[in-house]
Each structure stands twice: as structure tokens, then as C-alpha cells.
Amino acid sequence: MAKVTTSSLLNLKQDRTKFTALTAYDASFAGAFDEEGIDVLLVGDSLGMVIQGGKDTCAVTMEEVAYHTRCVANVVKRALVIADMPFMSYATPEQTMESAAQLMRAGASMVKLEGGHWLLETITMLTERGVPVCAHLGLTPQSVHVFGGFKIQGRGDENAQRILEEAKAIEQAGAQLLVLECIPAQLAQTISETLTIPVIGIGAGKDTDGQILVMHDILGISSGYIPKFSKNYLAQTGDIRLAVKAFIQEVADGVFPAEEHTFN
């Protein structure tokens, strides 16, 4: 069972082979997802909502993400483990270095940051010091109060061009992966085709290199509602492991995300 790395994900992109990612926060689910063949596991600050019951991700602390990262990394044998840098944990260079080191020591193989042009020096600084970076554009949940809610990003020519230019600059700065969340499918396709690095979509159409979903959404147990861009695979299969298999297969076949999961 070969370990998934940034290099192997790049090879999948070059071979036009879709890959899959899920969030995970504990050893039991992480181990099951890993055994079923999920390529990437994200210890997301989404834990603030799905684990802690918060209204957004902003209250999550570095210590909490590090704890859940350790739980996941302890059991994962194959998947690439990425950990979110929580809200205001990378506001200054010194803080960024210590935050990233804490997550890498907890077992992450990569850290994820939300933001565009203002993060370019930070991305370069991290990669120069041996910390792989996954960037995140579009709907960045830590900025939900700036956006005025969880709103689709990148609509209109000017906004789309801005996100495209940020994506290219982020790649140039050294990021090795990019997550695009809740943007029009055509924009996500353009970015995926423009960049060399793999692009992972969530609510970004079917033409990104990989797809990621929140585990609670694919199991239909999120409090409140299931987002438009997600799908309840547990309802479809009746078994957690079969739900993961179905997600992997539908992404590979180009069946998911379908039109009803996509923003135009």
C-alpha cells in the first residue's frame, strides 16, 4: 500500500485520474476511510461546527486542531494527512512558524491556509522551511464575517479574474495543493487546467482534479442541513464503508458532483 504524497497526487493530475478527500477528526473514522482508499484526509477546522456545534469555524484553537490531527495521524497508513491552520493562527511570520510546527509535530504532512495575495510571502516562507502548503480560495470559512455569510464566491468577470490570478500567484509562491470552495464550475475548471498543482474542489464542479467533502455530510448527520454541493452517501448505501466506496467510485466515474451539486 503506497503512501499518498504530494508527488503521487501530482502524478494523478497528470494522468487525469480523479482523487478523493474527506475530513476526519478521530482515529476510528480516519482508519476506516484510509482502509477504503480515500487519498487525502483533512483535519479541518470544520470541527468547530460538526464536532463542537459552533456557528462557524472561528472559535477553533491550535491546540484543538493539533489534538485531532494526532488522533488521525496515529492510525493512517496510506492517506495524505492535511491539517487546517485555524483562525488567526498565521497572522504574523513568527506565529505562522510556530503554528505550522505544532501541526507537523502532531503528525500532519501538510498544512492548509485560507487566503489569497496576502498569504504569498507566508506560503514561500513555509515551503522554504520544509512545511508543505495547501492553499484555499473561494469561500474561505474563516472570512465568513467579512463575506456576510456563507456565500458563493467568484461570480462576475472581475471576481473570477481575481481568484484566477490569486491561484496562479499561490502556485508560484510554492503551494503544492489548492482547495477551491463554492465557486462557479467554469471558473474551477479554468483554474484546474491553468495550474500545474492539483486542485481539490468542494462545491466547485466536476472538473477539478480531486473532490473533498465533510464526512458528516456524506453520512447525513450534519446538524442543520446538507449543503447543496454534498451528497448523503449513507442513505444511498446503508453502510459507512460502502458510503465511502460509493463516493470514491462516483468521483472516479465523473458521476459526482452532478449538476444539482454545482454552482454556475
Q: What is the pLDDT, as a whole number, of residue 40?
A: 98
User: Could you check whether the bond before residue 257 is cis, i.e. omega within 30 degrees of 0?
Assistant: yes
Q: Which three cell numbers stand for residue 17?
A: 485520474
Annotated binding site for Mg(2+): 45, 84, 114
CB 57 within 8 A of CB 86: yes
pLDDT band at 227 (very low <50, low <70, confident <90, very high): confident
Catalytic residue among 166, 171, 181, 250: 181
Q: What is the pTM of this model?
A: 0.96
For the domain 19-261, what is the CATH superfamily, name and number? Answer: Phosphoenolpyruvate-binding domains (3.20.20.60)
Residues 197 and 174: their CA atoms lie apart, in Å, by 10
pLDDT at 104 over 90: yes
pLDDT at 67 over 80: yes
Question: Chain-centre distance of CA 208, in angstroms?
Answer: 12
**For 115, what's the count of Cα atoms within 13 Å in the CB-facing half-sphere?**
21
The residue extents of the domains of the chain are 19-261
Query: Lowest mean pLDDT: which of 6-10, 143-147, 199-203?
Result: 143-147
pLDDT at 225 over 80: no
Helix (H), strand (E) at residue 200: strand 199-202
pLDDT at 149 over 70: no
121 is a catalytic site residue: no
Annotated binding site for 3-methyl-2-oxobutanoate: 45-46, 84, 112
**For 253, what's the count of Cα atoms within 13 Å in the CB-facing half-sphere?**
9
Q: For the chain, what percent of residues have pLDDT higher than 70?
A: 98
Q: For the chain, what percent of residues have pLDDT higher than 90?
A: 88
- Average pLDDT on 126-152 reads 87
Q: What is the mean pLDDT of the chain?
A: 95
Alpha helices (runs of H) in 178-239, residue ranges in sequence order: 185-194, 215-218, 233-237
Q: What is the pLDDT, as a whole number, of residue 224?
A: 64
Give tens-digit pLDDT for 184-194.
999 999 999 99
Annotated binding site: 45-46, 84, 112, 114
Could you give the C-alpha distances from 4 to 11, 65, 109, in angstroms and in order?
11, 21, 10
